Structure 1
Amino acid sequence: MHSFCHMGGHEEVELCSGLERLKQEHGPLREQMHDFFELAQTIGNNDEVQDWKERLLALRKNVLAFIYELDPHSEREEGVLFPMMARYIGRTSGPIAVMEYEHEQAKQRIASFLTKTAELPETADRESAMELADMVIQAYHILSEHFMKEENVLFPMAERMLSDKEKEELAEKISQI
């Protein structure tokens, strides 16, 4: 098994349609993540309270749009791909456990941000605004690395591991989500 840190040096694996779809979904998700990451980094850069409150609200809107796209993607992985792979490599430790843990860590940070920004208090200060933005920045970093691991390790591993019949089943099931 390849190390999760191994980023190259082996031949490119051609992915079946289901795995290729999951990989392709990362592109638009990355673009949305990049947008909210850049916005999050501007919060607190200006001492005008109104500015960072407006940015937090804009950030919240961006994050909600991102979650709308991320949730079905996560469901395709967690509800279809991971269980199929777990038949071979288990779920309590190893790659699937790591992937599920990272999903949970990113979701927790995003959920906390959304909960805490649902009603911004009038007394919120610059520091608390920066702490809120940092939750989203952390989620960005977790997911950026996570996507890389999936594309370079998990998806090629699944391609080698799953039978042709399982690959057909994967494509069919993820197309229904």
Structure 2
Amino acid sequence: MLILFNKPYGVLSQFTDRGSPTARATLSDYVDLPGVYPAGRLDRDSEGLLLLTDDGRQQARIADPKFKLPKTYWVQVEGDPDDAALDRLRRGVRLNDGDTRPADVERIDAPAIWPRDPPIRVRAAIPDRWLSLTIREGRNRQIRRMTAAVGFPTLRLIRVSIGDWRLRDLAPGIWREG
């Protein structure tokens, strides 16, 4: 079984929240299916497509970077990246844990998506821009670190696809079999 889930902002990509003094939202607040586990992770402050499966081999194939499944994100950044910044992302960016693989990146119009709760911070004097960014690896907070490394911090991050699986019109907090 494979589940496509639109993980809302603020939800942990796990079924329990051990060790936290305050209860935080987890997958168990949204998915009540025994025996499924996330295939990969999506940070608490990121949104979008998370795959869950009851097949350990499928889980490993989706999550393991050696298979290089492309993951595409819509990224709202602070500022308006110029061509030089986008070219740096396309070549790969040096992070504190080494160089990233080259990314596919392009400017996009603001997507027609759900409002975020809480909303992102907006600064009247600083524009923002949406990008579509595809990577084939999955380091911790990689997209956020990449955009910051080229001078454009991430304000909002939504994963829209993993391999051939697409978020499409799936609403936040809702799942479907894939």
Of structures 1 and 2, the larger Rg is shown by 1
Give the TM-score band, short-chain normalised.
under 0.3
Q: TM-score, normalised by structure 1?
A: 0.25
The structure carrying a bigger helix percent of its residues is 1
Q: Which has the higher strand share?
A: 2
